[in-house]
Chains A and B, each alone.
Chain A
C-alpha cells in the first residue's frame, strides 16, 4: 500500500525510532555544515583550516583541492592551469571516483540544503500534480553547453551564473545580489518543478554523475524481498528513477545494487524504509 508523499518516513519513525529514521540525513547535514564551517572558521574566527572555496582550496596550507568541472571549463577556454590545480583535481576526483561522484551533491554542495528544503515543503503542502516537468537529460545538455560556451567565449561564462559556486563563494566572500539567484532556485524547486534544479538542470551534478562509473560505495536494495510497496523511498528520493530497477528487478535478474550514475548516495531511502530494504555497500574491486 503506497503512503501519501506527505507522510513519507512516518512508518520508519514508528518502527525504527526517530534517530534511525534520520541518521543518514543527520550525517549528511553534519557533513554539509562541517565543510561550510571549516571554510567559514577562517574569515569568521581567524581559524584557518581551509582557504579558498569549493572551486579551489588549500587545506591546512598544504593540500590543494580543485573542482574538476571548473578546471575543465578553464581548459575548454584554452587556458592551461598551474600544476597545483592538476594535483588538486587528482585529489578531488580520486575521492569522488571511490565514494561516487554525486556524493558531492548530497554531502558537500550547499545548494542541496536549499533544494532539500524546497522538496520537503513540496511534500508537506502536497504539490503533487503541480509539476513543471523537465527532462532529466537537460543537465547533460547544459553540461555540454557550458563547455562549448567556455570554448567559444574564451571565458568561464557559466561561472557568472552558476548557483552552486555562487552560493558557496558568496557565503565566504559576499554574495551581493546572488541571494536572488539562490531564492530563484528555491522557489523554482518548491513551486514549479520537483527536484528541478539538482535533479534536472544542474550541470555540476551532471558532471559529477559521470564520475560515478567506478564508484565503490553504493546503495543496495539487498533485502528487496521485504519491500511492502509503501513508496516512501520514491517520495523522498531526489532521483527516484534510479531506484526502480534495483528494487523491483529481482525477476529480471537485475542486481539490487543501485549502479545508476545519478544516485547521490544521500541514504535517505535507507532512513525512510521501515523494512530496512536498503543499505550502503562497499563494492569489492575484484568480484
Chain B
C-alpha cells in the first residue's frame, strides 16, 4: 500500500477570517511596540563611534547582521558589541574613543571580516576613514587657549600635522607671548579618537563626534568664488567696469560717504617728475 502524506487540516471560512483578524490585531500591536523601541535605539549616543567604513547609521542598522566578526578581527580590542540595555542598537559594533580609540591598522582587518557591506569593503586606505570628526568642544578648558604649550592631541594624531594643525596667535592677555591653537581639519581627520583618548584634561576638551552631528553643510547653490575661479581658469562673473562720472569741474565723488566734494585747486607739486629738474632748480632767494 502506497503511503500518503497527511492531508492538511481542513479549515472553514469563519475560522479563517477570525484567525486572520486576530493575528492582524496582534501583529499590529507588536509592530507598534517594535517600531517605538526601534526608534529609540536608532539614536546613537554621540560618544559611540562605528568601526571604519561603517555605512551611514540608517543604512548600517539594516546591513549589520550583528555577528561580531569585526570585533573578533580587531587586534586592539577596540570594538565592542552593544549589549541589551545599552543605548546603542543591540548587537551592533561600536567603540568609545576616550576608552580605547581605533589604532588605524593599515590593512583594516575589521572590514574584510564583515560578511555584509555594513562596513564598506571599498574602503582600502584607513586614512580615508571617517569614523567621526574631532572637535575642540571646550576652548575654555583646553590649556592651549590659556597660552600653555600642550600639543598632545597634535602629537598623537596618526595623520600628524594634517588633521590637527597648530595656529600661532598673539596672546592678548600677556601681550608678549604666543598661543598655539589646535585647529581641526575635516578632510584629514579619520575620527580615530587618539586625540580624545590622549587629552590630558580630566574631561577631554577635544572630542570625536559622529559625522552626522559634527559636520556642517553649505547650501547646494553656494559656490566659493576663488575655488570656482581656479577650476575654470578665470573669473566666472564679468569683471566690474570702472564707473565713469561726468562731474562738474572742481568736484569729485567720494566713495566713502561724503558724496560730491570740492576738489581743492590743483597745486603744482613741489617736485618735478624728473628728479634732476628739481636738483637743477635754482633756489629761491
Chain A residues engaging chain B, CB cutoff 8 angstroms: 42, 48, 51-53, 55-58, 64, 66-67, 70-71, 74, 77-82, 84-85, 88, 135, 137-138, 141-142, 144-145, 148-150, 152-161, 165-166, 169-170, 172-178, 180-181, 245-246, 249, 252-257, 259-260
Residues of B within 8 A of A153 (CB): 35, 38, 62
A-B CB contact pairs (8 Å), 7 listed:
A52-B67, A70-B66, A77-B62, A82-B114, A142-B27, A144-B27, A165-B91
The interface centre, meaning the residue of A48, A169, A181, A260 with most chain B CB atoms within 10 A of its CB, is A169
Contact B31 A149 (CB under 8 A): yes
Residues of B within 8 A of A78 (CB): 62
Cβ-based interface call for B84 (8 A): yes
Apart from A81-B117, A169-B68, what 8 extra A-B contacts exist at CB < 8 Å?
Answer: A51-B73, A52-B67, A82-B121, A154-B59, A157-B37, A161-B37, A178-B84, A254-B5
**In the complex where A160-B34, A160-B90, A181-B84 touch, is A55 in contact with B62 (Cβ < 8 A)?**
no
The A/B interface has a contact count, at CB < 8 Å, of 180
A53 contacts which of B3, B34, B68, B73 (Cβ < 8 Å)? B68
Contact B83 A155 (CB under 8 A): no
Cβ-based interface call for B64 (8 A): yes
Cβ-based interface call for B241 (8 A): no
**In the complex where A55-B67, A141-B27, A155-B62 touch, is A79 in contact with B117 (Cβ < 8 A)?**
yes
Chain B residues engaging chain A, CB cutoff 8 angstroms: 1-6, 19, 22-23, 26-27, 30-31, 34-35, 37-38, 41-42, 58-59, 61-69, 71-73, 80-81, 83-86, 89-91, 113-118, 121
A52 contacts which of B5, B68, B84 (Cβ < 8 Å)? B68
Residues of B within 8 A of A254 (CB): 3-6
Contact B69 A166 (CB under 8 A): no
Separation in Å of the B112 CB from the closest CB of chain A?
9
